[in-house]
Structure 1
Amino acid sequence: MFLIKLPYHKTYLDLPLEPGPKVRLLTPENHEYTPDGTQEEIVRRALANPIASPPLSELVKGKKNIVIISSDHTRPVPSHINIPLMLEEIKKGNPDADVTILVATGMHRPTTDEELLAKFGQKVVDEVKIVNHLSEKDEDMAFLGILPSGGELWVNKLAVEADLLLADGFIEPHFFAGFSGGRKSVLPGVASRKTVMYNHNSTFISSPYARTGNLENNPIHRDMLFAAEKAKLAFVLNVVINAKKEIIYAVAGHTVEAHLKGCAFVRELVAAKPIPGDIVISTNGGYPLDQNLYQAVKGMTAAEATAKPGAVIIMVAGCSDGLGGEDFYHQLADFPSPQAAMDTFLSTAKEDTPADQWESQILCRMLIKYKVIMVSDPKLAGRFRDMHLDYAETLEEALTMAKAIKGDDAEITVIPDGVGVIVG
């Protein structure tokens, strides 16, 4: 017997399995990457060597109103390292600049004071103005034109009216935008609700190009690039983190060029070949990415990419913040089957896309093909079942359920970090 440790909330669950040829671990081929320097040294080096851009200390000269878009509480961006170093560069070039941090909540709830403190640290919270983006406040938005897809582009006025717009974030595989980071700080980060919903419409979500690790011909990515350009996002600091949420790589500079270099690094770092399994076990990498079911769909897509037809997927996610929204819940629970829900999604016009339909659609895509068993908070068991998911309180129980369907000799594939791998 050997143990595989799977991230779960802020701890780990032990998965006891008998070793053998039918139990395989799917991890990135380069997962043992060793960074050169401390986290702070890595970020400083990136800021000192910007890609296709003057240094930040030069860009800020003559700029009075500077806005930094920063990821919210659902993203494990080490902003307590990034933001102070960005502020240091800003003060070096323009000590009198007025700096605002605009929290890129996208369609999520506002980040709480406690979460802001944990994210940025006491000094930043005390000394810098921090504002939560609220996507539903139309009065806070400015119109910037028509997206390549045909939707209206509305972006937070704080970003649009800045003399210089910056962003900090991180790059990881993203299940329909290809990769996170870069242009994503603007759309969906600080865009209006209606803009996000149009960009995340069912036609785009079902596109074969809107997949993990793919940017080419990706219609969602195309809109995002347009939004970042129109908002004049001038400079980004994007980091790459390991399973311990530690910075191992960083890029800074031009919004597109720096991001592409970071994506290339991530692709090489986390690429993995499929290991087809009858039972596939995945996670969302632990807290904060596994804090609700909505986010956990991302880790499920890694399992989807390596599951055999008719496989059972076991998803390990703490879901300390619940499901992730009532709209998300009802978009599955209110239908007799996942297929019935999918039929509704696909018949919905782009301009009528409701909140969270994109996440529900991807989850439905998997539920139509596979049985999905959640290992999560027992308080959510009934609601999971309402949404056509199965539930098990422990990994052992989930495996027993899965083997009852696929047999004791089923081939098992384990993905310790479903959001940290590109399977293909």
Structure 2
Amino acid sequence: MWTKLLFGRGELSIEVPDDAAILQPRDVPATDDEERAVKEALRRPIGTPGLRRMVGAADTVAIVISDITRPTPNHKLVPWILEELAHVPPENFTIINGTGTHRDQTREEFVGMLGADVADRVKVINHHCQEPSELTKVGRSAFDCDVYLNKAYVEADFRIVTGFIEPHFFAGFSGGCKGIMPGIAGLETIMTFHDARMIGHPLATWGNLDGNPLQEMAREVNLMCKPEFLLNVTLNGKKEITGVFAGELFEAHARGCEFTREHAMARCASRFDVVVTSNSGYPLDQNLYQAVKGMSAAMKIVKRGGTILCVSECSDGVPDHGNYAKILQMADTPAQLLAMIEAPGFRMLDQWQVQKQAVVQSWADVFVHSTLPDETVRRAMLTPVADPSAALRELKAKYGEAMSVAVLPQGPLTIPFVDEA
């Protein structure tokens, strides 16, 4: 049979065995009126007064948004926030693009992310985690590092964080505290948040908040300079808003995570020989670095020694910023990469993504269908695939006619798991 996976801004059709298991979040329709749903949440939030009542006309306001690698509908949320706070002059706002360690967005990208009207009227800045003059120390973490946050955020009279809640491969869920930590944190703080011990912790995994050290550190950092208001949304496969969670940071985010968990979990009776996954399409599948998330989701249900076939457009390349590609060249096998990263004293930007990838590759073979040159994929220790349908047919020679196959059309938007008990 033929099935479709999210790929870039569209879909990719592939042929899979008729008995393949198709696993994806339970279909949730978009809200009847997205604008009304968001404004209702701003006026009747969870655990706080209405947003308009909390902000004075003379207040300076920082709005933290997620960067271009996330499908947060900032072009809707930010204008609706500004309308709700129309009593505050435009010059009092600063929109901070929470890049974490990612690249800056361009003026044209900001127009696409926020709309021309917002980009023209309101100050919009990229967060720079390695620029000391743009950071402020707010405390010392119990995880043994100083905590630096974006200076414009810290100095604002009122702080708002927006975001999108989805399953996350080591933080459990995105959104909430992650908008601030690591979104607008300093590099020293981010490196501790992503060190080998944190990433390798058994509770740092999909859909889990309890005992997750990354969530614990994110919560600790947020409490040092807490945003007064959260606006998070959930989306379906069409990137339509399905739920709105606004108000007090922790309570509103917890409600959103429960909503996401309820719809994203996919139980399997056993593991599969082959798992085909997308990386949930644009914008998450812009580069190979982000594609590790789709691979990690597939690992949850593939047999040891099995095969993962990841479909990710990678229109933005590997990417060419950071150390992801460089680290991949520092060893000859995934096992060697893991040993190197986990060794005392090793510390490099992007090591966390390589660590997660190496864990996946130590468990299963990983094939990648993308728009990248084959040699680029091979340099990442991955196997390039031109035709996913043909690759599946060829894998029958390895696994036999009874080859078991699962498909994750929406990739890491699904939390697949095996009830191995």
TM bracket (short chain): over 0.9
2:372 matched to 1:372? no
Offset of residue 378 of structure 1 = 4.1
**Counterpart in 2 of 1:32?**
27
**Counterpart in 2 of 1:187?**
181
Offset of residue 262 of structure 1 = 0.7
**Counterpart in 2 of 1:16?**
15
Give the residue type in structure 1 aligned to 2:42. Answer: L
Aligned residue pairs, count: 415
Tell me the distance in 1 between the aligned counterparts of 2:394 and 2:347: 36
Are the structure 2 counterparts of residues 401 and 114 from structure 1 closer, same or farther at C-alpha, using a change threshold of 3 Å? farther
Give the residue type in structure 1 aligned to 2:323. Answer: D
Task: Show CA shifts across 1:175-210 (max 9, x none).
Answer: 111111111111110001111011100001110110
* Structure 1 segments (4+ residues) deviating >6 Å: none
**Counterpart in 1 of 2:398?**
405
Q: Matches of residues 5-404 of structure 1 in structure 2 within 5 Å?
A: 5-20=4-19, 23-28=20-25, 31-61=26-56, 63-92=58-87, 94-95=88-89, 98-274=92-268, 276-324=271-319, 325=321, 327-349=323-345, 353-379=347-373, 381-404=374-397
Note the residue ranges of structure 2 that are not aligned, 5 or more in a row: none
Tell me the distance in 1 between the aligned counterparts of 2:90 and 2:376: 52
TM-score under structure 2 normalisation?
A: 0.95
Tell me the distance in 2 between the aligned counterparts of 1:368 and 1:18: 26
SS in 1 for 2:286: coil
SS in 2 for 1:419: helix
Give the stretch that moved more between structures: 61-70 or 203-212.
61-70
SS in 2 for 1:91: coil
Tell me the distance in 2 between the aligned counterparts of 1:303 and 1:365: 12
Contact 1:170-1:240 within 8 A present in 2 as well: yes
Task: Show CA shifts across 1:45-88 (max 9, x none).
Answer: 21121110111101112552110001111111101110011111
Are the structure 2 counterparts of residues 279 and 328 from structure 1 closer, same or farther at C-alpha, using a change threshold of 3 Å? same
| Counterpart selection for 1:421 from 402, 414, 419 | 414
Task: Show CA shifts across 1:284-327 (max 9, x none).
Answer: 11011000111111111111001112110000000011112451
Identity percentage over the alignment? 35
Tell me the distance in 2 between the aligned counterparts of 1:368 and 1:398: 21
Offset of residue 96 of structure 1 = 7.2
Contact 2:317-2:372 within 8 A present in 1 as well: no
Contact 2:31-2:241 within 8 A present in 1 as well: no
Contact 1:285-1:417 within 8 A present in 2 as well: yes
Give the residue type in structure 1 aligned to 2:340. Answer: T
Tell me the distance in 1 between the aligned counterparts of 2:382 and 2:174: 27
SS in 2 for 1:339: helix
Offset of residue 247 of structure 1 = 0.6
